[in-house]
Structure 1
């Protein structure tokens, strides 16, 4: 995982970043086990979840129920890769995480192969970080390349 945590200058920021990475590791571990209850446990009760298809789920119960069905169906036996790009803190109890991710079977995907970009909003409640909102977007790499070819200024600074 890459690290560009804006608050990692301080010991507290480093501890918080590690705790947040542990939450994401719990999330990916639960996915790999096909454990919808453990997957849902890292979300707040009122969390929102938008899949790369645009499906919108509201609340931990909705996230658990849908993932139980998905883990038993089209996502059965898949793993979840998640490569953190950055973690930014907005006060002591709120953080935004951007990452690249993807599902896979067999060989883990390398960072440059990950086809989705995620945004997590995490809040700390009772000393534990939980995901309050999740947004997953499918990358269109070919369209990105065309855009950068015809409009080089559109390329994100992080990719220059």
Structure 2
């Protein structure tokens, strides 16, 4: 039996969703705007952690190509999937935890993030459709 045969469809989808978030982390840590933008559906919506609303992949791309290069020069970022709610078998709300760090294994920088990614499975691939980044303020 192959690994695929041992994995239920839901487990395979969870693993694929985690892989999207891992790619998001990789693209940010390595300042790869094209890899980042490639995670989004053409008509995706994204609200940044500071409230900027971007209404399609072209706007997301323009913004990302402007802000991502150089953003990791003083540290790094991690993302952890905390919860996945399947709205339908092909649509999921994904809650993650984001944290910026001074360096690999260093001290946390600023407040953690609490992004929400609505993803859809299209042509067998999970893509980001509507995303909201939110900074977590203590208190």
Sort the TM-score into its range (normalised by shorter chain). Answer: 0.7 to 0.9
How many residues are aligned here?
131
1:26 paired to 2:30: no
Quick one: which of 24, 27, 35 aligns to 1:38? 35
Question: In the TM superposition, what is the alpha-carbon distance from 1:72 to its structure 2 partner?
Answer: 2.7
Cα-to-partner distance string for 1:12-65 (whole Å, 9 max, x where unaligned)? 111100000001111111111211111000010011111111111111111121
Q: Which structure dedicates a bigger proportion of its chain to strand?
A: 2
**Aligned position for 1:14:** 11
* Distance (Å, rounded) in 2 between the aligned partners of 1:18 and 1:109: 27
- Higher Cα radius of gyration: 1
Give the RMSD, CA atoms, in angstroms: 2.1
* Distance (Å, rounded) in 2 between the aligned partners of 1:105 and 1:45: 33
* Distance (Å, rounded) in 2 between the aligned partners of 1:68 and 1:44: 17
Quick one: which of 43, 46, 49 aligns to 1:49? 46
Unaligned runs of 5+ in 1: 1-9, 144-160
Structure 1 runs (4+) deviating above 6 angstroms are: none
Q: Given the two structures, how large is their TM-score scaled by the length of structure 2?
A: 0.85
- Conservation of the 8 A alpha-carbon contact between 1:36 and 1:65: no
* Distance (Å, rounded) in 2 between the aligned partners of 1:63 and 1:121: 16
Structure 1 pair 12/40, CA: closer, same or farther in 2 (3 Å)?
A: same
**Aligned position for 2:103:** 106
Quick one: which of 92, 104, 120 aligns to 1:123? 120
Unaligned runs of 5+ in 2: 1-6
**Aligned position for 1:136:** 133
SS in 2 for 1:31: helix
**Aligned position for 1:150:** none
- Conservation of the 8 A alpha-carbon contact between 1:123 and 1:130: yes
* Distance (Å, rounded) in 2 between the aligned partners of 1:129 and 1:25: 13
Q: Given the two structures, how large is their TM-score scaled by the length of structure 1?
A: 0.74
Q: How does 1:75-94 map to 2 (within 5 A)?
A: 75-77=71-73, 78-94=75-91
